[in-house]
A and B are shown apart, each in its own frame.
Chain A
């Protein structure tokens, strides 16, 4: 036990030492960087704090190094890598010397700064200059042409591994091809890959070695709001106020008291202010809660990211991309605490500016040698040629200038990249995530992504939004789908209200666009929206509540725009229970119409209401252009019987009408009667349509359920890998081609070849030889035909003999045989007979055809170009 304790103590001591060392080093760093946050408090670290720090450090470091190396060693076979990986070319050696020289001068001139990250080892433990590790590549996928999709791909494709030592740049920097192979890497690997791709697609991109916040370095997004939850801000349209026209009427005089208004305004303002204040306080409180604990290593954590400078590819402003998360930041963002150096595939620059205020004051003019010390001369960045007189007062700068000058004499070009081409196969590109899945934790939200076709229901992305930071209470779930045969695109489940909203792409068999519901049971609250251009009836939206149904239409030839149906309670029938066979009775149907320009307003119905129970029909007409009241008409469709028992057809009090401009013909009973009859028919029609709507809802619900059950995925016909049909077809085509080819080869068989081979090659045939050749060929063929006939004959005889034998055997043992044996014998006999018959037929056929074949060959030989000259005379 004691030994153990001692050991632990020893270890602790060692670690303490290490930590102390680190603290010292940190102090050094601070001096150089003058990072405001770290100064003072951290310069004098107490023992407690040290221990705390140390604990944290161990917690971070322990798992990573082992994991990192193991994975790489297991996955990469160093011996199979190309020679450029395992050795340096003379030019590279030269470059390394230059870099070494540069680094030495740098450490001499700036002794208090950390050593440069210039030539880390690659996977084969060969030092390689960082710029040559960049391999600008334009990807063959149009999706990867822009920086945002490119960054997204890199962040999706690779899995992040933290740095071995969070305070130091890594000792190894692997090639992008290796990183892509193992799909794992640290921030330097991420940035290198992304930078290669961005430069390849024409961006002015740089890898940056610097210092980042804790969240940034550990890819911790839990304090960030998920970009998918952020709603796009509505652009407020400022309506240009038209100049008041010359003859615009004056507004009516305002008779309200201005004083009172002001007082009211004041009061409201106060209330508003109060509310505002409360809200602010609340927000602040929340922010306080959410704020991370201060990081003791703030400003010391090494990170690498990508800088995109303005200018190329229409980039208006320089910005950072964090390759781990694919998020873009402004160069003034708080997460980026300092820049040590940056490089692209052509050059390497050291930041000579002060980073006390993070990166906020940095100026990214790489041509300015005072701010950015370059390593190689002759890059495309124009550099300001400062004369000696200008910076006489600044010794420091002068020295630095000298440093650059020395390089100038050498004027050395960056050697080409040693990395082999970066390749991403279409499968990899489509699968994207390692193992096809990726989970990102955001603030109050979790985002899961899958590769398409991985889930058999087509799910590609799921966003779960939580109510609290601890992510225990689900607020809502959004699920994105792809390649669904039912065109489902997005499913939105709101857990608090229980509302489900399904969004569909165009192409659903029922033209469904949006379907929001609480339950799939019919006759409940639901809203269905449709792609009205596809639907014949122009339906846009159908809303349902338990007792009503509202439909809106557009672009119908009968100008119907709206239909509202009120249902009464279902009349109970004992025998039938299903909704289909026992529809709810309709109490009221309200229909509204658009204005039909072909009709005068007084005859164009704007709204009609059928009150079923009261047997009443109300009509409201459209309003005339310069009127404010519209005509109305109300019909009682009750059929009454007069005192004598005759049916009353129409009486004046059955139709109450108000007409804006009374007309003569509408007063007539005949007109009213005809209108009523027409309305009765239309009522029937409307009821029928309403009933059909109900049926349709049922149908859609049924269909949706079936689709959910089956969730088949559609496969594009261009997707040759997945599309079975096209695959089969393609294979069949290939087979056919192959067979065709074989047949052709067969057709080209030369029947004279074996005989020609006997003759000495390269000599011209003599006549005698030709004749002999022909005769030989023919006689050989004759022999073959005879042989074939003999063969068939022989088989025929053998079969007959066997049959005879069997028959004999049967006759001998007939008495003792079981029925099974007998059956066996009989089947054998029939088969044998069949064979014999076939052989006989073949023999006959052969006999018939053989002379013909012989003649055909003879004919062919006569016509053969090689013999034709010699044998002609004989014909």
Chain B
């Protein structure tokens, strides 16, 4: 590069430029001729070098789906962009550019080596997605806050780091600080880190690191606990009994029930509510336990089914493989014999023999496949029946438990009604001693109002219970339907795939034979 590139106009990354680069860097000599003849598709390119091109903006790279190594150093790029599609990228060089902030790297999860040296970056961030990062080069940038190094603790594979030429590198503590906070680092600023010095640094920053570690561990533990919670919930959802292991349903019954809450202020209703809640929760727990058990059962059933199906398929495949292998052995001998044979009638005879063999193989393989289809169909039917029965039983039992809930609710409703009417009478007679909140008192105007209020509360409760039941029943039914549908579909797919494979193979064999024929006749 003799000419000063800043005097040149910025170039645009267009198709021509990329093609030229690909052609230049692609295969050479004989292979190159072939490549030229055929043209190279961008998606086949694994490595691309675009340095000293005066590029201002990264663009047009979306076609390079399989690119693993990209060099864009010594350009005048100002922003990292347009790299979203290059998910296979392992090696990215963006050094000697004008980049000011790290960005646009969130999809490059496979990146191992990232070079951003000689830019204008002032802060290390937005690298969270690069979990495989091993080498990070950020020399000669504007990073000024030493605490920014702590950000790099999240990369467990990071071994090499270069930060020289940044404002932070001038600090006295710079090296010791990094040794201490990034203990897995092996190279810093292209120098091997001495174990002893590392140890010293560790001792020096012991306290702050311990604190940091403690905080990290806490964070980790919290995350894990959350995750476990999530998993458990998902598992319960799979069993269609989520939130039934407590008073959630009961609470939800009262959460939207304005009148019910109001009525709970009445004397005697509190205790009533308490006992009601206890009984209700016990039934809920029953449903929950039962649901979990049933889930286990269904799972075991499904597992055995899958296992058996797999075994059958495997067995069938092995037979098929054996047949194909046998055929191939024979076929090879025959073909060789034909190649060596010179008499035309003989050749024809042998060719006919060969094609007969092929037909026979086809028939055999197809018979095998048909057999398997029949076997599987039968088994699937049995499974379908069993799983439907299981689901039916489950629904039935859950429904009976839900009916108990409803009974409880009815009972409660009656009691509540009694109390309210009593209270109403008392109020009407003016014997009411206790203070009632105004909005509650407002309900006790006449009998209709209060009965309506209690009835509304009751209706809401029943609705909630019905909803929960519906949710459960539809959930399990749709699960069952989906499962069976999937099994059927999978089986059909499998069958089609196998038939296609057989046909393809037979066609290939036939066409090969035909070619042989033609070749011989031409010969």
Contacts and interface: CB of A to CB of B under 8 A. Distances in A.
Interface of A: 245-250, 252, 623, 626-629, 649-650, 656, 658, 660, 665, 668-670, 673-674, 677
Contacts of A623: 321
Contacts of B33: 649
B183 to A, nearest CB: 32
Given A628-B365, A669-B38, A249 B376 contact: yes
Contact of B34 (A250, A628, A650, A665): A650
Query: Of residues B40, B365, B497, B504, which shows the largest number of chain A Cβ atoms within 10 Å of its Cβ?
Result: B504
A246 B34 contact: no
A353 to B, nearest CB: 62
A670 B321 CA distance: 32
A246 B30 contact: no
14 contacts: A245-B304, A246-B308, A247-B304, A247-B382, A249-B308, A626-B497, A628-B321, A628-B502, A629-B324, A649-B33, A670-B34, A670-B35, A673-B30, A674-B27
B23 interface: no
Interface in B349-405: 365, 371-372, 374-376, 378-379, 382-383
A627 B501 CA distance: 8
Given A249-B309, A249-B378, A628-B320, 18 more contacts: A245-B304, A246-B308, A247-B309, A247-B383, A248-B308, A248-B312, A252-B375, A627-B501, A628-B324, A628-B501, A628-B502, A629-B501, A629-B505, A656-B512, A658-B505, A665-B44, A670-B34, A673-B34
B89 to A, nearest CB: 19
A668 B309 contact: no
Contact of B27 (A250, A627, A670): A670
B31 interface: yes
B365 A626 contact: no
B37 A628 contact: no
Contact of A670 (B31, B304, B312, B379): B31
Nearest to B305: A247
A247 B308 contact: yes
B154 interface: no
A452 B505 CA distance: 66
B317 A626 contact: yes
Main secondary structure of the interface of A (DSSP, over half): loop
Contacts of A246: 304-305, 308
B313 interface: yes
A251 to B, nearest CB: 8
Contacts, number: 80
A384 B502 CA distance: 84
A720 B317 CA distance: 65
A668 B320 CA distance: 31
B411 interface: no
B508 interface: yes
A670 B372 CA distance: 41
A636 to B, nearest CB: 12
- Of listed B31, B317, B321, B324, residue having the most chain A CB within 10 A: B31
Interface in B497-514: 497-498, 501-502, 504-505, 508, 512
B34 A669 contact: yes
Interface residues of B, number: 41
Contacts of A674: 27, 31
B361 to A, nearest CB: 10
A249 B307 CA distance: 11
A613 to B, nearest CB: 12
A637 to B, nearest CB: 14
Contacts of B376: 249
B308 A628 contact: no
A247 B378 CA distance: 10
Contacts of B226: none
A250 B311 CA distance: 12
Contacts of B372: 249
A245 B308 contact: yes
A498 B335 CA distance: 40
Nearest to A624: B501
Contacts of A245: 304, 307-308, 311
A673 B29 CA distance: 12
A250 B30 CA distance: 58
Name which of A247, A623, A665 has the most chain B CB atoms within 10 A of its CB: A247
Nearest to A660: B501
B19 to A, nearest CB: 16
A668 B38 contact: yes
Contacts of B324: 628-629
Contacts of B505: 629, 658, 660
A522 to B, nearest CB: 30
Nearest to A245: B308
Interface centre among B40, B307, B312, B505 (most CB of A within 10 A): B505
Given A252-B375, A650-B34, A673-B31, A628 B312 contact: no
Contacts of A249: 308-309, 312, 372, 375-376, 378-379
Contacts of B496: none
Interface string B279-308: 000000000000000000000000011011
Nearest to B312: A249
B494 interface: yes
Q: Most chain-A CB neighbours within 10 Å: which of B312, B374, B376, B501?
A: B501
A856 B495 CA distance: 112
A614 to B, nearest CB: 9
A252 B371 contact: yes
B158 to A, nearest CB: 25
Interface string B128-172: 000000000000000000000000000000000000000000000
Which are the 8 A-B pairs with shortest beta-carbon distances?
A628-B320, A247-B308, A249-B375, A249-B312, A629-B505, A658-B508, A247-B305, A670-B34
Contacts of A673: 30-31, 34
Given A628-B501, A656-B512, A247 B34 contact: no
Contacts of B374: 252
A649 B312 CA distance: 48
